Structure formats: C-alpha cells, structure tokens
Amino acid sequence: MARASGAETLPNDRLPHFERLPGPAQEPSQKAERPILLAHAIVVRTSPAQDGVAAGSIGKVDVWYDAGIRDAFAALAVISASGERVDKRDAAIDRADPAHVSVSVNPLGPGKYTVRYRALSADGHLVSGAWDFEVRP
C-alpha cells in the first residue's frame, strides 16, 4: 500500500467498519455508528458586501464559504445592470484557503451589479445564489 504522511491509503472495500462501543446500555447486536453530518456550503462573507457600495472601481470580487468547496464546480460571474458579463472569467479557488473564491473584473463604472455564484459543497450538493452591489464614483 502507498503511504502518505505515514498514513496507509486503503481502498473503499478495506476501510475500517464501525466498532461497538463498550457500555452497559448497549445490546451486543448494536453497533455504535456515528453519522457523518455534512452541510451544504454557506456563504459567510462577500466582497463587495451584499447590497454594499464600492467607492470607485474594484479589481476583483470575492466570496467566502463556511468550508472548503470542490474545484470542478466553483464559479463566479459578475453581471452589469444591462445584462453584460463584466468579469474576466478567471474564477479560482484560493489554494491557501479553499473556502475562498475570487474572480477578476474589468474596470467597473458606476452602477448596479449582480454576482452569481455556484459551488459544490463537501456533501456533494451544488449550491448557487446571487448578491447585488453598487459602484459609485
């Protein structure tokens, strides 16, 4: 077996099974199985802020989730009030912080903008949404 950082990598059919925990209330046939609870990714912060105002043009738009997201489906798009996409289509997950995604934008003039986001959360659910912000001179 290959080892990474001292840990053995096991194929799925060789992963350890749940074991019974000792205890007087536990029937011998019961197994102590702890469910793994994974939640959908939740947006915890944005820049510019949701319904916020940016003074002057900005160079990028950022979103932070409550947990890391999967790379394949991370997306951000910035749309002007006229419906034109104004980002540089270079949305990327921050390698130092996999809960942070950013996209560069072309110079933004005064006006209202909508950011659309999409992410694949750790539990395998695709989450999406949008927020608005305004640029003022």
Domain membership flag for residue 21: no
Query: pTM score, two decimals?
Result: 0.69
Window from 27-31, 63-67, 70-74, 84-88 with minimum mean pLDDT: 27-31
Domain membership flag for residue 112: yes
The structural domain count of the chain equals 1
Residue 60 has pLDDT above 80, yes or no: yes
The whole-angstrom separation of Cα 103 and Cα 131 is 14
Average pLDDT over residues 14-27: 39
Domain membership flag for residue 38: no
How far does CA 11 lie from the centroid of its chain?
27
Domain range for 48: 43-136
pLDDT: which is higher, 53 or 37: 53
Domain membership flag for residue 51: yes
